[in-house]
Amino acid sequence: MIYPKIPLAQTVIQLCKLKNIKHIVISPGSRNAPLTLGFSNDEFFNCYSIVDERCAAFFALGIAQQTKEPTVVVCTSGSALLNYYPAIAEAFYSDIPLIVLSADRPKHLIGIGDGQTINQKDVFENHILYSANLKLDLKDEKRPSDKDELPIFKNLENKLERILGLQQSIQSHNEEEINKACNLARFGKGPVHINIPFDEPLYETVEELTVHPKTIELDVKPLKIDQAELKDCIDEWYVSKKKMILIGVLPPNQIEQQWLDELANDNSVIVFTETTSNVHHQKFFPSIDKMIAPLEADDLKALQPEILITIGGLIVSKKIKVFLREFQPKHHWHVGDKHANDTFFCLDKHIVAPPNDFFAEFLPKITHVAKSNYLDTWTAVKQLRHKKHLEYVKQIPFSDFKAFSLMLKSIPNKTILQLGNSSTIRYAQLFNMNSSLEVFCNRGTSGIDGSTSTAIGCAVANAKQTTFITGDLSFFYDSNALWNNYIPKNFRIIVVNNQGGGIFRILPGHKNTDNFDYFFETKHHLTAKQLCEMYDFEYVTASNEQDLDVALKSFHNKSKQPRLLEVFTPRTENDSILLDYFKFIK
């Protein structure tokens, strides 16, 4: 087998292998050549070449999202590393394990005016679980280039360090740092950065390993729920007649059905779910905005919970944030094994446990339920809203709203739905989702910058068909996502093209002015046709209800190429149709 000659590169690669980290996303470069040579010549690893580092990191994020295992991204030195930042921030706030391996120049070549050189140490310090800064291997004394390439003090330093046996110390330091970073990525569920200095020559290889690093396993003890805290929760539960459970971003199958059924059968409990929660029950309340937006102050007061339990990641619905900040619960408990966000400014308990573990320990201890009409009252409202929703969809003209009603119904059962941010996720929130779908969206930072790349990474990592629905600006912004050789034939993209940032027309502002059109909505006349030709996608269009209905009947069928459906909707009508919806269902 071929190995890089540099011991530090061997150490990094062998420890990734020992920790069973298989997926390696590499962007081309020279300084990272020792890593690229090592990973790509070892059949243990699944290596992907993605030129654009921003796309590469989101692609890796999509893989890690599906496998729930650390995925590695590898880049050269300089600004290449900074292009990882959006995906690192998303991974940080979405609890997704990423391992960033950045090649760097030796210390003595930093800050002297060399190209592709920046201060890489701790560059992600505000959005990273751990930053490991490795040490340069000592050079072989017999290497003839030492004298030519390095200042004389460097030669003397190398000789002194050899005499003191510091190479062994350097090797130990590097192994410990790599082990710590990789363990944190996996068990801390988030991104880590390993910065790796390499000196030239970079392309030399050997056929035998010269170092044999050892893996350090992390002793992870199962989380135990504080029993005194649990008793407090039970006592409060018994005396409360209005309890609300709000579930944010959650991977599929995180809570057992028996606990969902118990919650659903408690008349003092209502469970609000979001599209990204992947939790379903006929007695629960999806489409939060549909429920809350039409309510008056007296109705909101009646809905105000005494106990609020939040589960999962960030909440999409702005309306429920406004509601719960104004009508705060007496108690807010967050259940989760990582951080707890005080989203509603009244958090009083963080129960550090996976939601399923909490309910498995909590609900069996509840021996009776409080008499309450909380669930029945709001179920009646939900039924009325659903009826009015169907009436409205039936009568409106072709628009974003109408398109989403058709598109979401067309997604095949037991497949994956990836959603873009901004208007896309907010429209999706208004519709009851097929419970057999697995739904994902980059809600850690809620950016539009890497949604397509994430969806493609997801499609590569999961054999199920993936459909990605996105807006036009988000799609064009991340169009380099299509620049790779790994897109499965069953991957589907639906681009809702309303010729600009349609969500800005809904927000307060002076619409239909040159300033608004140019700087906010960013009106355009682009289409995805040329991109599909370039990247070998089958291209389909629809600009009315009949065309869309026909296109969707065959869109998800098997094909020899991935497919993209571009749906053109009326730019100046979408906003009024959406705003009128909330008036109609009131």
Looking at the fold, whether 374 and 519 belong to one and the same domain comes out as no
Which residue matches tokens 């008056």? 296
Looking at the fold, whether 193 and 235 belong to one and the same domain comes out as no
Which pLDDT value is given to residue 143? Answer: 42
107 falls within a domain? yes
Domain closes at, from 379, 408, 436: 379
Looking at the fold, whether 412 and 363 belong to one and the same domain comes out as no
Q: What is the CATH number of the domain that holds 54?
A: 3.40.50.970
Q: Where are the alpha helices (DSSP H) in 111-256?
A: 145-149, 152-163, 166-188, 227-239
Which pLDDT value is given to residue 85? Answer: 98
ω into 412 cis (within 30 of 0): no
Which pLDDT value is given to residue 572? Answer: 78
Looking at the fold, whether 170 and 280 belong to one and the same domain comes out as no
Domain closes at, from 379, 409, 440: 379
Instruction: Estimate to the nearest angstrom the gap between the alpha carbon of 289 and the chain centroid.
Output: 23
End-to-end CA distance of the chain: 69
Closest C-alpha to 193, from 114, 93, 92 = 92
Range of the domain at 513: 396-584
Separation of alpha carbons 74 and 85, rounded Å: 13
215 falls within a domain? no
Looking at the fold, whether 157 and 280 belong to one and the same domain comes out as no
Q: How many domains does the chain have?
A: 3
217 falls within a domain? no
Which pLDDT value is given to residue 155? Answer: 62
Looking at the fold, whether 169 and 231 belong to one and the same domain comes out as no
Looking at the fold, whether 16 and 163 belong to one and the same domain comes out as yes
Separation of alpha carbons 295 and 303, rounded Å: 10
Looking at the fold, whether 86 and 232 belong to one and the same domain comes out as no
Task: Point out the residues of the chain with pLDDT beneath 70.
Answer: 140-165, 501-510, 512, 514-521
Backbone angles phi, psi at 175, to 5 degrees: -60, -45
Q: What share of the chain is helix, strand, coil (3-state, %, to 5)?
A: 45, 15, 40
Looking at the fold, whether 431 and 365 belong to one and the same domain comes out as no
pLDDT in tens, 448-478: 899 999 999 999 999 999 999 999 999 999 9
Separation of alpha carbons 104 and 202, rounded Å: 12
Looking at the fold, whether 194 and 238 belong to one and the same domain comes out as no
389 falls within a domain? no
Lookup: tokens for 109: 């070549």
Which pLDDT value is given to residue 138? Answer: 82
Closest C-alpha to 138, from 108, 122, 121, 158 = 158
Lookup: tokens for 274: 């979001």
For the chain, the residue count is 586
Which stretch of DSSP H or E encloses residue 473?
A: helix 472-477
Which pLDDT value is given to residue 142? Answer: 39
Provide the edge-to-edge strand list for the sheet that holds 46-49: 46-49, 23-26, 71-75, 98-104, 191-197, 130-133
Strands 538-542 and 492-497: unpaired
Looking at the fold, whether 9 and 94 belong to one and the same domain comes out as yes
Lookup: tokens for 72: 């590695």
Which pLDDT value is given to residue 152? Answer: 55
529 falls within a domain? yes
Dihedral sign computed on CA atoms, order 315, 318, 321, 323: negative
Which pLDDT value is given to residue 164? Answer: 55
Lookup: tokens for 122: 């701790």
Domain closes at, from 379, 414, 444: 379
pLDDT in tens, 106-119: 988 888 888 788 99
Backbone angles phi, psi at 199, to 5 degrees: -105, 155
Looking at the fold, whether 8 and 136 belong to one and the same domain comes out as yes
Cβ atoms of 535 and 483 closer than 8 Å? yes
Separation of alpha carbons 403 and 397, rounded Å: 10
